[in-house]
């Protein structure tokens, strides 16, 4: 089982930070299906958190059910990052993470994200300063219990908020409805471990693809140096910065980091896990300790549950029913309304319905996929929540199908 410093995760599967997509509502839906060892916020600007800007505070929103949770910070100034880490501890983080992999210009031009892969000295200095600050942020035992999720996840109340999904997920039928959560989410403490809130770092293999190809990727070296200054775990997205999201994840690159740290800290592999078997392959071929899933979960928030079951038993669970999938979309929409507002919920559901829709198409008798373009369009053009609910209900009862399928729907982000 995966352990990050003093945090023993319930599973070795993690929800990736995906800026603009992994909000509190989405993390909640993934957790409700089960199998999530740790979920992370989107990348957060420490300056924004310290100034209390509305966007940063929205992105950092969490609650007792959303535990254990990682809060990811980006930046390049060790002192500001340290103050950001303190803020994160004071506002609900179970783990603090530093972004060392973001390839976006807005972040790298200010020397943050992936740019740290070109300045290892700075990367390590930031990590060392943040570790030092975290050691000065003690939490009470009661608060630590909350951070691990033990209080919320262990009680019967979860049946209403999670697998029960009663009332709010009115379309859900079958095995998951009203059932006990079969896969836990809560972490447990490691006895007598120091420094409650651990630091992790998320990186890519290196900046230049030629460096990786010639065996000179910096990630193995960087991971070792981070372990030396007290970082409790690293996540490696098996692509270079230059690759952005193109090409395939390089499992050999992740394996080199695993080999380099030699068991001193856990290594979490990341990239292209879309099915339970992908996670099994990543674990087997790289020797990594855990698997982080991003885009695969956008299409299937239940992927953690399915994957955990597969890793435990070698058996694939049956696919969800259409009612359960529609119920999941509705649940996500309702949670966004609850945590944010109708405007946000309408905007968010319109931009990401293609992800959910990927898993809602049925195969026709002639082998082709049924077209559900009218459904996606109905969701995208809905102006009020009532219209969204009507579209879900129409689709559930067999409508909003047909027409010509738009094959470009498959990739909306990255």
Question: Where on the chain is the footprint of ligand FMN (CB under 6 A)?
Answer: 16-19, 42-43, 72, 99, 101-102, 202, 237, 270-273, 293-296, 413-414
* Shortest spacing between CB 19 and ligand FMN, in angstroms: 4
DSSP output for 40-102: EEEEE-HHHHHHT-HHHHHHT---SSS-SEEEEE--S-HHHHHHHHHHHHHTT-SEEEEEE--
Q: Nearer to ligand FMN by C-beta: 19 or 193?
A: 19
Q: Nearer to ligand FMN by C-beta: 193 or 350?
A: 350
* Shortest spacing between CB 14 and ligand FMN, in angstroms: 10
CA-to-CA dists, residue 248 to 86, 119, 192, angstroms: 37, 25, 41
Residue 42 in tokens: 């989107």
* Shortest spacing between CB 245 and ligand FMN, in angstroms: 6
The Cα–Cα gap between 113 and 98 comes to 8
CA-to-CA dists, residue 308 to 173, 176, 305, angstroms: 22, 15, 5
Q: Using CB atoms, what's the residue nearest to ligand FMN?
A: 294
* Shortest spacing between CB 288 and ligand FMN, in angstroms: 13
Cβ neighbours, 10 Å, residue 267: 27
Q: Nearer to ligand FMN by C-beta: 181 or 233?
A: 233
* Shortest spacing between CB 387 and ligand FMN, in angstroms: 27
**Contact assessment for residue 342 and residue 400, using Cβ atoms and an 8 Å cutoff:** no
Q: Nearer to ligand FMN by C-beta: 70 or 164?
A: 70
Q: Nearer to ligand FMN by C-beta: 30 or 165?
A: 30
- Paired with 236 in beta bridges are 203, 269
CA-to-CA dists, residue 32 to 35, 45, 152, 173, angstroms: 9, 28, 12, 15
Residue 289 φ then ψ, to 5°: -95, -20
* Shortest spacing between CB 144 and ligand FMN, in angstroms: 25
Q: Nearer to ligand FMN by C-beta: 42 or 77?
A: 42
């Amino acid at each position: 089982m995966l352990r990050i410093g003093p945090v023993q995760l319930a599973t070795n599967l993690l929800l990736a930070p995906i800026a603009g997509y992994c909000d509190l509502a989405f993390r909640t839906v993934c957790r409700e299906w089960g199998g999530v060892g740790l979920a992370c916020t989107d990348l957060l600007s420490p300056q924004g958190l310290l100034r209390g800007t509305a966007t940063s505070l929205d992105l950092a929103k969490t609650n007792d059910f959303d535990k254990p949770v990682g809060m990811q910070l980006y930046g390049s100034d060790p002192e500001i990052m340290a103050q950001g880490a303190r803020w994160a501890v004071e506002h609900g983080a179970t783990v603090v993470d530093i972004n060392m992999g973001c390839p976006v210009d807005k972040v790298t031009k200010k020397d943050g994200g992936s740019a740290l892969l070109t300045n290892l000295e700075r990367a390590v200095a930031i990590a060392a300063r943040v570790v030092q600050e975290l050691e000065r942020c003690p939490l009470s035992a009661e608060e630590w219990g909350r951070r691990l999720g033990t209080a919320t996840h262990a009680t019967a109340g979860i049946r209403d908020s999670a697998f029960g999904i009663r009332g709010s997920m009115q379309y859900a039928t079958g095995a998951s409805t009203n059932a006990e959560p079969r896969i836990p989410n809560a972490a447990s403490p490691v006895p007598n471990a120091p420094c409650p809130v651990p630091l992790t770092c998320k990186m890519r293999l290196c900046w230049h693809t030629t460096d990786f190809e010639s065996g000179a990727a910096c990630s193995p070296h960087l991971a070792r140096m981070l372990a030396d200054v007290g970082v409790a775990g690293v996540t490696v997205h098996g692509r270079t910065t230059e690759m952005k999201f193109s090409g395939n994840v390089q499992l050999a690159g992740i394996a080199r980091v695993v080999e380099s740290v030699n068991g001193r800290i856990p290594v979490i592999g990341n990239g292209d896990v879309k099915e339970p078997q992908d996670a099994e392959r990543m674990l087997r071929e790289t020797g990594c300790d855990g698997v982080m899933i991003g885009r695969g979960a956008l299409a299937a928030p239940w992927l953690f549950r399915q994957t955990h079951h597969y890793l435990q038993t070698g058996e694939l669970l049956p696919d969800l029913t259409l009612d359960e999938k529609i119920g999941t979309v509705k649940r996500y929409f309702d949670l966004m309304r609850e945590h944010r507002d109708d405007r946000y919920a309408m905007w968010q559901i319109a931009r990401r319905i293609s992800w959910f829709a990927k898993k809602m198409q049925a195969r026709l008798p002639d082998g082709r996929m049924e077209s559900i373009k009218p459904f996606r369009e109905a969701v995208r053009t809905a102006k009020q929540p009532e219209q969204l609910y009507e579209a879900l209900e129409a689709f559930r009862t067999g409508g909003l199908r047909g027409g010509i399928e738009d094959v470009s729907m498959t990739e909306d982000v990255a």
